[in-house]
Chains A and B, each alone.
Chain A
């Protein structure tokens, strides 16, 4: 009779999770002052930073307004859409 031996091996793999970008897009309806106000309220940015991002949205058509963990990005995107800003989520490359 032969003894049976079970060998268990475990392997750990660690990878850096890529951040998610929250992107606000330009539209012909939302007023610039409102977009600035919403970025301040939802993301807690100071007025100057919010205005700079708003100008990027206006001039470039879109701006990454926040980047980080997926769950948090989804929360911010939800809040921005609740304020009627056209907002998308995309994984950083």
Chain B
């Protein structure tokens, strides 16, 4: 739900809703190789790659970790306020990019692990249970990202 100050308000009905969005943190770090390593590994030829791995990748790692930590704190605080049941999560416009980034980290990592490809080509019914849940989480994160883009990041 868009807010008057250009942010977003997400309504949680019960504990399972909190768990679902809370999964973003675990999903984002569920791959052996960090997102920064994955991005850095393919930056270019040897002329660039060594310096990139030494100087840029650690900085990206710190930045991505900080983004996740910030979102994790906001989630924890909102969940405490709601005592884990029905409640709201407010995403201010100033924080929208951090939220988008955390959701993106989770989706990029799920894609790295499960290789779903374009969601339009995926039939959920054909997915085995081990892939169905992560796919549906990725789709849920994507829906929140779309709302953020539409209402809080333009």
Binding site for B on A (CB under 8 A): 27-31, 33-34, 37, 74, 77-78, 81-84, 86-91
Contact = CB atoms under 8 A, between A and B. Distances in A.
Nearest to B111: A29
B41 to A, nearest CB: 10
B43 interface: yes
A4 B145 CA distance: 79
A45 B65 CA distance: 29
A91 B45 CA distance: 9
B63 interface: yes
A28 B116 contact: yes
B71 interface: no
7 contacts: A28-B119, A34-B153, A37-B149, A74-B48, A86-B39, A87-B39, A88-B44
Contact of B43 (A27, A31, A33, A89): A89
Given A34-B100, A34-B149, A88 B43 contact: yes
